[in-house]
Amino acid sequence: MSDREDHYPTRLTTPRAALPRNEPIVHARNQYRWDGPLDEVALSRYERDGFLWFNGFFSRDITEPFFEELREMARDEALMDSERVIKDPHSGAIRSVFGMHELSARFDRLTRDPRILGMVRQLLGSEVYIHQSRINDKFGFQGSGFDWHSDFETWHAEDGMPRMRAVSASLMLTNNNEFNGPLMLIPGSHRLFVPCVGETPAMNWQDSLKAQTIGVPDESALARLAEHGGIQAPKGPAGSLLLFECNTLHASNENMSPWPRSNLFFVYNSVDNLLEEPFAAPMRRPEFLAARETTAALTMHDAFPELAGQGVAPLQ
């Protein structure tokens, strides 16, 4: 596999300057086949910033049944001991649960809700499947943060994702305010690929999901991008939705507030961007982190008819 062309070299032994992204951000401009609910203003904003925030996309009451399922899962000792549950490195509390769409029919249905899937297909310009899903939990007074990173950098290096043609949808299951460790993003950072120094150790994911040290851009590159684009931390009530491009740099601080911060993430990848062998890692990651077997195109499913008329929150 070493003679493959690698457009985004990373996990290097010596520093290398940032590279321009060499592919579109919105993959099917003005192609009727992939038309969707986002208007020109939204598409232009996504191209400019690398993310879209929908304050109060769903009503708060969509989130309660998800919490009931999570409480039930927390009582499942076999699940809690499995490798798809990542514990907080300091408190031992749950930090992430991966593969939520495989564990819960409700989560799975949400990934196919037309109000989300319609936007995702429009942005990626193709049929899509779920590359990865997870819940990230930050309990009050203890939830650890996540270092600055591009998800694509990891998915390219460790999962063999060839091109930047994936988007993450994050549904806020709790209020996200300035105190409980909201996601921070650097607008415009998706336009450059920042190669990272540091080779990928074997079984890296067993440490990186607790605290990422490999695949973290150097501070000078981060500073330049933040000077240029600033930092934004979208905040809003449970039910709000964030769509962010796979290469948009993001991070989050630890939760020093009494209020929990729980976000559901599902990552849509284009069916034209299937995983290959890792570009910069000694081995593949497990299926629950990087889908290789279940890559059939998602079908629309009106997941929550009782929420008809929602999902039209104004852009902020």
Q: Which one, 43 or 281, has the nearer CB to Fe ion?
A: 281
11 binds, among ligand 6CS, Fe ion, none (CB under 5 to 8 A by kind): none
Choose which of 146, 266, 268, 279 interacts with ligand 6CS (CB under 6 A). Answer: 146
The yes or no reply on residue 151 touching Fe ion (CB under 5 A) is yes
The yes or no reply on residue 165 touching ligand 6CS (CB under 6 A) is no
As measured in angstroms, the least distance from the Cβ of 88 to ligand 6CS is 14
Choose which of 130, 289, 291, 303 interacts with ligand 6CS (CB under 6 A). Answer: 289
Q: Which of residues 72-131 bind Fe ion (CB under 5 A)?
A: none
- Residue 32 phi/psi, 5-degree rounding, is -50, -40
As measured in angstroms, the least distance from the Cβ of 279 to ligand 6CS is 14
Q: Which one, 62 or 184, has the nearer CB to Fe ion?
A: 184
Choose which of 49, 108, 137, 151 interacts with ligand 6CS (CB under 6 A). Answer: 151
Q: Which one, 69 or 147, has the nearer CB to ligand 6CS?
A: 147
Q: Which one, 113 or 151, has the nearer CB to Fe ion?
A: 151
C-alpha–C-alpha distance, residues 221 and 224, integer Å: 5
Q: Which one, 97 or 110, has the nearer CB to ligand 6CS?
A: 97
Q: Which one, 132 or 174, has the nearer CB to ligand 6CS?
A: 132
Choose which of 55, 142, 177, 212 interacts with ligand 6CS (CB under 6 A). Answer: 212
As measured in angstroms, the least distance from the Cβ of 215 to Fe ion is 10
Which residues contact Fe ion by CB under 5 A? 151
Which residues contact ligand 6CS by CB under 6 A? 132, 134, 146, 149, 151, 154, 208, 212, 289
